[in-house]
Amino acid sequence: MIINNFFDKITKSISKKNVKFIVVTHILPDKYLFLKSLNKIGDVKGIIPKQTSIDKNSLKIIKKDFSVFNEITKESVKDKRKVINFLKPLVKNNKFIILDIGGYFSYTVNDIYMEFRNNFLGVVEDTENGHIKYEKIKDIKIPVFSVARSPLKHSEDILVAYSSVYSAENILRYRNETLVGKKVTVLGYGKIGEHTVRDLTAKRARVFVYDKDPKKLIQALAEGYNLISRRNFLKDSDIIFCVTGNKSLSEFDLNKIKKECYIFSITSSDDEFKFNKFKNFVKEKFDPIGITLIKGRGKIHLVNYGNSINFLHKAVIGNFIYLVQLEMILAINELILKKHHGGIFELKDLKRNEIAKIWLKYF
């Protein structure tokens, strides 16, 4: 009831429009109420689930009220014809908005615009990884409202790091190990990476930082953390946390790991890694979930097959998730009310303050 009232505080002020929504989303317990709130301002016509983050009970609940397209994947929406054929029967001649996670539609967004012209109002993107993908499009034809760098997302970033460290420790304890004393390298000292380093340090791991950006390395050093070279972290880490979303490791890198090493990711495998078929490794099942790659003295545990570790425990971050969800709703309203040229946009701080005040009132 509290969550409903929280969303209603904003959605009641937005009159329902004949606008269709195509939603890429994690299928987790917090999503149903968000989708119901979207239906109060438009019409959710299709849901594309992130395949690596589907909670079965949440999927059953969502399927009762919404059309879920399990067969539509990140790869299929890269195909111009496939994505247009998917959208046509859903949006018909109506205006529509895509809610994206991780830049699924960034590869074909201009093609979609050319096909649907004035009916395609734009995209609302949730993640930093997706933000970067849309930013790289040279001549983007449509507006993309991004919440990835919003101050309201900071709490989510903090808790994603916390939940990921929790999940990693849970896996280790299942295998009669702990983080204490382990040599852990964190790849990527960005918004989530810096909190991952802090939380691992609190667990008494021996933490080292690697980042391609020298400015990030200086920041990590100023905050009291140890730096490590690429050569040394591959040679000597007990655990590698990958928090870049940008192909941090390749199979060539795995060949340089000569000891037992756990690899945990905080994003999708296809974004974080550049792996092929592990032809040079003996492959075994990793218990409880994942794959173990063996070559010589090297034994690499790719936990959850390189996908987000925190989704093994539903990626719980509590009521903080509703801050970003409400910002996405207000971004949708911006796209409905105003005509924007192509480019990346963010919500004004005045609107963000309004969301923060409402959240504090209810939670």
d(CA 237, CA 277): 23
Residue 5 is classified by DSSP as H
The CATH number that applies at residue 125 is 3.40.50.1480
The CATH number that applies at residue 159 is 3.40.50.720
**Does residue 212 sit in the same domain as residue 293?**
yes
**Does residue 37 sit in the same domain as residue 139?**
yes
**Does residue 159 sit in the same domain as residue 301?**
yes
Tokens 């937005």 belong to residue: 14
Question: What pLDDT is attached to residue 249?
Answer: 96
CB 358 within 8 A of CB 39: no
Question: What pLDDT is attached to residue 16?
Answer: 82
Query: Which residues are within 8 A (CB) of 275 and not within 5 positions of it... i.e. 6 or more apart?
Result: 249, 250, 251, 254, 269, 306
Among 112, 44, 52, which Cα is nearest to 77's? 112
d(CA 244, CA 230): 14
Total domain count, the chain:
2
**Does residue 31 sit in the same domain as residue 103?**
yes
Positions in the chain whose pLDDT score sits under 70? none
Residue 123 is classified by DSSP as E
In this structure, which amino acid lies at residue 89? P
**Does residue 144 sit in the same domain as residue 170?**
no
Residue 111, exposed/middle/buried by CB under 10 A (0-12, 13-18, 19+)?
middle
d(CA 197, CA 205): 9
**Does residue 170 sit in the same domain as residue 288?**
yes
Q: How distant, in Å, are the alpha carbons of 150, 184, 324, 362 from that of 24? A: 19, 33, 15, 27
**Does residue 140 sit in the same domain as residue 179?**
no
Cα atoms in the 13 Å half-sphere on the side-chain side of 129: 20
Question: What pLDDT is attached to residue 268?
Answer: 87
Q: With H, G, I as helix, E, B as strand and everything else as coil, classify residue 298.
A: strand
d(CA 279, CA 305): 16
Residue 38 is classified by DSSP as H
CB 102 within 8 A of CB 24: yes
Question: What pLDDT is attached to residue 66?
Answer: 97
Name the residue range of residue 345's domain.
2-153+317-362
Tokens of 188: 């990527």
Element (H, E) at 283: strand 282-285
Tokens 């990030």 belong to residue: 216
**Does residue 116 sit in the same domain as residue 192?**
no
Question: What pLDDT is attached to residue 71?
Answer: 93
Q: Write out the DSSP string of 131-155.
A: HHHHHT-TT--SEEEE-TT-GGGHH
Q: How distant, in Å, are the alpha carbons of 245, 258, 270 from that of 74? A: 15, 34, 10
d(CA 263, CA 286): 12
In this structure, which amino acid lies at residue 106? S
Strands 183-187 and 206-210: parallel
Question: What pLDDT is attached to residue 48?
Answer: 97
**Does residue 110 sit in the same domain as residue 192?**
no
**Does residue 65 sit in the same domain as residue 121?**
yes
Residue 309 is classified by DSSP as G
Q: With H, G, I as helix, E, B as strand and everything else as coil, classify residue 95.
A: strand
- The reported pTM is 0.90
Cα atoms in the 13 Å half-sphere on the side-chain side of 88: 7
The number of beta carbons lying within 10 Å of the beta carbon of residue 65 is 11
Distance between first and last Cα of the chain? 12
**Does residue 129 sit in the same domain as residue 171?**
no
Strands 143-146 and 120-125: parallel
**Does residue 279 sit in the same domain as residue 293?**
yes
